[in-house]
Structure 1
Amino acid sequence: MKGAFLIVKGHVEGLGERGDAMIRVENLVKEYKTKKGIIIGVDHVNVTIEKGEVFGIVGYSGAGKSSFIRCLNLLETPSNGEIYIDGVGLTSLSKQELRAARLKIGMIFQHFYLISAKTVAENIAFALKAANHPRKEINDRVHELLEMVGLADKAEVYPAQLSGGQKQRVGIARALANNPSVLLCDEATSALDPSTTKSILKLLKKINKELGITIVLITHEMEVVKEICDRVAVMQDGKFVEEGPVYEVFAHPQEELTKHFISSVLQFDLPAAIVEHCAGTIVKIQFKGAVAGEGVISDMLQQFNVKGNFLHGKIEYIQDIPLGIFIMELQGSSSAVADAISYLEKRTEQVEVIRDAA
């Protein structure tokens, strides 16, 4: 089977000792010494990432995302704490053992870092040559990887002749060369246009599903998290301030920072002019899961003596599960509107009265 040799060659003693956790981070701290004093990049972070999971880390520039992800393969040496990758404690390894362990940790970058003087095939082969694989096996693996990332016809092309999306595909192929268990993505789509970003995320999702590779992805875009991640952590000032399954974080954000990020995907601010022209009660209704496909609002309008006017609405599919949010005006007697809202509260996930006509 093509590529199977890489799994053997890249084996590190002790892999798989700690059950289903692919990545376990304990009390991770990263400090930087500057002329102005010590700056904390990562501040006592603890997290467990399961095998086969796509784990997103979202935050603004300076939040500590890049410092955290670069500590996972010890490109940055932690100031304190422990990092386990598939049961192997990286911080206790010798230099030789760390080189072997890194074969199982692929990484792709925002700016690609391809060697301009080498062809696409040579860029991918570089990682295999560094791991001392025979030429014949290298050629077979390069061909396999080019097919996987959709660049089979670009083997002899140089990076300057590629688009940004094609360059990132080369970067992904290079990161997968040694059959890693973990793929680290450092702002992998930030330099790409929206259409290309979607194609790269689709490729990463395919890689995750077909190869079972655990992916850790950092970004400042919640749209990226929505598209591909299973769980997400929101990072601020070196800390994980909120963490959980992507759907639950979207449906029930706890921190103001998280709510701000989600608002970039689920934007529901009504213009003041619209609100001023509404005479009735304005409510925001959230539908979660299967309820989003039910006729809750039509049932409510039929059962109670109220009129409904839709002002805004959207259904997003997160991990193929619908999350619907609608804003509407309810007109009728105060008692009928109150009964209608009570009914909605029983049938839906959440009802918020934005403005009470009373």
Structure 2
Amino acid sequence: MIEIENVSKIYKSKSSQVVGVDHVSLKIPKGDIYGIVGYSGAGKSTLIRCMNILERPTSGNVIVDGVNLLDLSAKELRTARQSIGMIFQGFYLASAKTVFENVAFALKAAGIPAEKRKKRVVELLNLVGLSDKVDQYPAQLSGGQKQRVSIARALANNPKVLLCDEATSSLDPSTTKSILALLKKINRELGITIVLITHEMEVVKEICDTCAVMQDGRIIEQGPSYEIFSNPTEELTKQFIDTILNFELPPKLLETCKGTILQLQFRGNLASDPVVSDMLQTFQVSGNILHGKVEYIKEIPLGIFIMELLGDSSEVEKAKQYLEQRLKQVEVIQHAR
């Protein structure tokens, strides 16, 4: 659906230049919810604006549904953009227009007749749960309601792609969950490919099929979201994941532990299997759970637990090898003292 081929964006001044995007290549499948995560200044927003040529790349190609947008004339590009909806952190609603008029504006600009505009706006407001807010103005809406209006407006012309630039970062956690649930519904029911720019790994965990991590204008890691969470390779990716899966034990607790401390990762169905119970019954060891939780990445469980194993060193080693065979990912945090 979307192919970004070796795209760079360089901003030049009289005395210097700033690289916003640095030779980025991505393939985003049709119907995917694709997250691009990074800290402020990483180049995320510049990259997503290159996807609909709001920012024209300095080099590279942007191919959407088989069409290279950089080959289009200005008129052709305006037509192509009708199939690429976009929502922003700041909503960008016209304060003097009602909810109905804000959504209808995109249809009017596309030359849709008044009667068809009215029918389409009613459909969209029903979809985003705002059918009772038709005649209200943006000032009368909450932040979440404003974002729902902007989503309805972005969907007005039946786009194939929806680009979301930090669409939830100004919302409270409860409202964020409701907006993410709405985006999931739109993706599932309408089959729209969604690209999400965010600095919140919680957003990626909640709805993204695939994600990429950006730093200094470059993609440093990308892949299925579950694989990124369960086996990150880059230090920055690990930092992001630590915001959700932080298992650092207090030094004082480590000082009191005399046994071998292991971090165990339970992927998929293993999160509900009695692996630890089986191990304790099989070997002459005892165990203390020091920390742990199960998170759901796109509804697939990922469990991480830290436990202390006590017993004869040979039995502890056998127990560790057994866990490695069952779980694959077992890390020794501290050896027995």
* Bin of the TM-score, shorter chain as denominator length: over 0.9
- Displacement, 1:221? 0.5
Paired residues of 1:60 and 1:236 also in contact (CA < 8 A): yes
Residue 298 (1) aligns with residue 277 (2): yes
Which residue in 1 is equivalent to 2:243? 264
Instruction: Give the alignment partner of residue 61 of structure 2, picking from 74, 78, 82.
Output: 82
TM, length-normalised to structure 1? 0.93
Q: Which amino acid aligns with 1:145?
A: L
Which residue in 2 is equivalent to 1:10? none
Structure 2 unaligned blocks of 5 or more: none
Q: Which amino acid aligns with 2:315?
A: A
Which residue in 1 is equivalent to 2:296? 317
Q: Which amino acid aligns with 2:110?
A: A
Cα distance in 1 for partners of 2:167, 2:135 equals 24
Instruction: Give the alignment partner of residue 226 of structure 1, picking from 185, 202, 205.
Output: 205
* CA displacement, residues 154-184 of structure 1 (integer Å, 9 cap, x when unaligned): 0000000000000000000000000000000
Cα distance in 2 for partners of 1:349, 1:28 equals 38
- Displacement, 1:305? 0.7
- Displacement, 1:34? 2.9
Q: What is the number of equivalent residue pairs in this alignment?
A: 337
TM, length-normalised to structure 2? 0.99
Q: Which amino acid aligns with 1:139?
A: K
The 5 Å alignment of 1:309-348 reads 309-348=288-327
Instruction: Give the alignment partner of residue 282 of structure 1, picking from 261, 266, 271.
Output: 261
Structure 1 unaligned blocks of 5 or more: 1-21
Which residue in 2 is equivalent to 1:94? 73
The 5 Å alignment of 1:210-221 reads 210-221=189-200
Cα distance in 1 for partners of 2:309, 2:320 equals 9
Residue 181 (1) aligns with residue 130 (2): no
Q: Which amino acid aligns with 1:116?
A: S
Cα distance in 2 for partners of 1:174, 1:207 equals 13
* CA displacement, residues 25-69 of structure 1 (integer Å, 9 cap, x when unaligned): 111010011354110000001111010000000000000000000
Cα distance in 1 for partners of 2:281, 2:22 equals 54
Which residue in 1 is equivalent to 2:149? 170
What is the DSSP-based 3-state SS (H/G/I as helix, E as strand, rest coil) of the residue aligned with 2:8? strand
Which residue in 2 is equivalent to 1:135? 114
What is the DSSP-based 3-state SS (H/G/I as helix, E as strand, rest coil) of the residue aligned with 1:74? coil
Q: Which amino acid aligns with 2:204?
A: V
Cα distance in 2 for partners of 1:339, 1:120 equals 66
Q: Which amino acid aligns with 1:108?
A: I
Cα distance in 1 for partners of 2:14, 2:153 equals 37
The 5 Å alignment of 1:145-156 reads 145-156=124-135
* CA displacement, residues 119-153 of structure 1 (integer Å, 9 cap, x when unaligned): 00000000000000000000000000000000000
Which residue in 2 is equivalent to 1:18? none
What is the DSSP-based 3-state SS (H/G/I as helix, E as strand, rest coil) of the residue aligned with 2:132? helix
- Runs (4+) of structure 1 moved beyond 2 Å? none
Deviates more, 1:98-107 or 1:33-42: 33-42
What is the DSSP-based 3-state SS (H/G/I as helix, E as strand, rest coil) of the residue aligned with 2:41? coil
Cα distance in 2 for partners of 1:308, 1:207 equals 46
Q: Which amino acid aligns with 1:141?
A: R
- Displacement, 1:349? 2.8
Instruction: Give the alignment partner of residue 29 of structure 2, picking from 50, 73, 78.
Output: 50
Instruction: Give the alignment partner of residue 65 of structure 1, picking from 21, 35, 44.
Output: 44
- Displacement, 1:278? 1.0
Paired residues of 1:125 and 1:139 also in contact (CA < 8 A): yes
- Displacement, 1:289? 1.1
Q: Which amino acid aligns with 1:53?
A: D
Which residue in 2 is equivalent to 1:124? 103
Cα distance in 2 for partners of 1:32, 1:185 equals 23
What is the DSSP-based 3-state SS (H/G/I as helix, E as strand, rest coil) of the residue aligned with 1:174? helix
Residue 33 (1) aligns with residue 12 (2): yes
Cα distance in 1 for partners of 2:269, 2:93 equals 46
Alignment RMSD (CA, Å): 0.7
Q: Which amino acid aligns with 2:169?
A: S
* CA displacement, residues 186-229 of structure 1 (integer Å, 9 cap, x when unaligned): 00001000000000000000000000000000000100000010
Paired residues of 1:288 and 1:349 also in contact (CA < 8 A): no
Cα distance in 1 for partners of 2:185, 2:234 equals 32
Identity %: 66
Paired residues of 1:30 and 1:80 also in contact (CA < 8 A): yes
Instruction: Give the alignment partner of residue 221 of structure 2, picking from 242, 252, 262.
Output: 242
What is the DSSP-based 3-state SS (H/G/I as helix, E as strand, rest coil) of the residue aligned with 1:152? coil
